[in-house]
Structure 1
Amino acid sequence: MNAKKSIQLLGNYSLLTILGFVFALPFLYTLYTSFITMRDVNTFTWITNWTVDNYKLFFTNEAYNVPKWLMNTVIMTGIVILGNLIINPMAGFALAKLDFKGKKLIYWIVVASMMVPYHMILIPVYVNVAQIGWLNTFYALTVPFLYQCLYIFMLRQFFISVPTEFIEAARLDGLTKMGAFWRIVYPLAKSSLITMSILAFAGTWNSYLIPSTLANDPEKYVLVVGLNSVKDMFFENTPLIMAGVVLSTLPILIFFFLFQRQYIEGISSSGVKG
């Protein structure tokens, strides 16, 4: 490697480092503020003066009930991701590899549904949920979101790239279409499934509008909704609010960093084909 390329590479890494720091700065400020007291806000204080009292307050004060909200969020997010890992791949596989009447119509309905903001259908969803008695239950927070048209489309694009010969060979070995899907095709979509899981995790974990609309019982609050009620009570307590922001954001960051390689692979393998 000559000197010119070395300088260019050093410049690229330096630029990326600076940009990374700039993008991370808001979260770093939030993290820092969550460990200080109210009198130190907007000032710099050494780590020896930091405190975890803001986090302790969340988990020890019964008025906040953060452990309950956190458990509700974990349950809701887990059920939604599990449903998406089952329903979306099956729908995507059917649209990519199976032949049946109305296939093109269903495909274009899926594509058209991606263009409709969920806020536009929230009222009909609320009415339907209320009519069947699901308000303030986990059914309301999970069942309508066990599939997503965006992820069906994304997985369909991946399954199109899977050679049909794999499925035919599996059928010759005695597997049914469902058997070929679960034992041969589904494992091949690992990267795309992880990408979908990260997106679904982020969207569900940080969802506010839908849980706050379909569940107004504090016992059924998810973390974001519960922390928002704390924000209204302690609007001027900046460190406490920032601690709540960290609690709601950190799980997403951890989940992403654990699977970032598969996420990038899934994005690259789920491009538009066919």
Structure 2
Amino acid sequence: MDQADSLRNKMALQLSDQKKHTSGNARVIAVASGKGGAGKSNFTVNFSLALQRLGKKVLVFDLDIGMANIDILLGQSAEYTIVDMLRQRLSVWKIIAKGHEGLPFVSGGSGLNDLIEFSGDEMEYFLEQLQLIGKEYDYIFFDMPAGVSRTSLHFLLSADQAFLVTTPEPTSVTDGYGMIKFLHVNNKNLPVCLIINRIKNKKEGSATASNISAVCRQFLNKEIKSLIYIPDDDTVGKAVRAQTPFIAYSPDARSSAAVLQAARQYTNELNSQEKYTEFSFTAKLRRFFTTKGRNTFG
């Protein structure tokens, strides 16, 4: 850690000590899917970039550690990863890289040697570092691994909101509902928002969202909102191969227009709501990693 990082950390810690139960103003959003291949990471990158274009400060954390691909989608190679931060006790400022259009992101690494499950000490250090940047951003996105592990569950349950990415395919819908049910059982108050990806037309997207919402309402007594239906067009695949976000690769494509419109809608809706203030993300996550704090979200 260089002198500038050390000074910045000390100043940020002094501010955080004044309000120990807040991690800043950033809204923390965990992006999940019931199964792999739903397009979760691609959505995260493009939606984050769309928010940045609206003047929002956004940071993307790739938490699919060891199997990460945010840096690939952004066409950038990060010098450091989350694993480096934990094992070498690096400053979080040091591991934040810049992707397309300067979008800040933290790589999760891409190799079997990078696979890691947070220990108690590692999580505490991670939370300390996260607290340093809470006031720097409007949104912090956690791109979660597909499915659920002990650590990823805790991240999901501690977030201010979960985005669930699914496709109209029956297996994806079934797995997506399973994820919603699992989250609901553990935290009934967690807001979940649907992203329907790879739709043939708006009717298919609406039908998929309505089916999931109806099942959640009937069996979980939970209201699920939909944020966006993303068309399945050739632009997305071409952009991935070019390692460029599709809203930059082809701004006029239907998929790009959908993401940009969703970003505007999302920010407008949040501006009309009160901010989430009951507990900070770091405070909630820390509760899971203390003996008395486990399984406290009934």
TM beyond 0.5: no
As a proportion of its length, which structure holds more strand? 2
Q: TM-score normalised by the shorter chain: which range applies?
A: under 0.3
Higher-RCO chain (CA-CA 8 Å, sequence separation at least 6): 1
| TM-score, length-scaled by structure 1 | 0.27
As a proportion of its length, which structure holds more helix? 1
